[in-house]
Amino acid sequence: MGERWQRLAGEFGRSAVAGTIASIVAFVLFNMLVHWDPGYDAALLEDRPITGFLIANVISTLLTYELSRTWAFRHRAPVGFAGGVPSFFLISGLSMVIPVTCLWISRNVLDNDSALADNIAANVVGLFLGFVTRFFAWRAFVFQNRDILPEPPYREVDHSSVQE
């Protein structure tokens, strides 16, 4: 595997781990908002699953940015205004259409309203398709290939030829 493919695989792997951590956060928040009944008549957003999904994923996007910037794409300089933050959130927001559409189709076309159906549609199928889309968009528009150069290696100076 060439150096370019190794770098791509490393970025994809780190981004997948960061995305998985953020997805777990979104999964827990979504289910707490839409399906968890804390002893009241219903879950807080039981009748508004898309709202619950969006709230959970806005919070997880904040976590994703931090993990992407400091770990997944740490060797790439972010470009654009404010370190690429607006572009990152714009891409994340636009790609949210993918899992929301999957959830909407599951609920309104397939008439599935169980917690399992919601999670498969939004948090498995939708988030995977959204992740792949975001990964390549972030590489192209936020964390471009403007590598931050590493510190030059330390070299000992040979003082034997210096006369006093």
Lowest mean pLDDT among 56-60, 83-87, 88-92, 127-131: 83-87
User: pTM higher than 0.75, yes or no?
Assistant: no
pLDDT digit string (tens) for 4-32?
788 888 888 999 999 899 989 998 998 99
Q: Do 88 and 142 contact (CB within 8 A), yes or no?
A: yes
Q: Is the pLDDT of residue 101 over 90?
A: yes
Q: Is the pLDDT of residue 145 over 80?
A: no
Q: Is the pLDDT of residue 66 over 50?
A: yes
Tokens of 78: 């972010």
**pLDDT value at residue 2:** 79
Structural domain boundaries of the chain?
A: 8-141
Q: Is the pLDDT of residue 114 over 50?
A: yes
**pLDDT value at residue 154:** 46
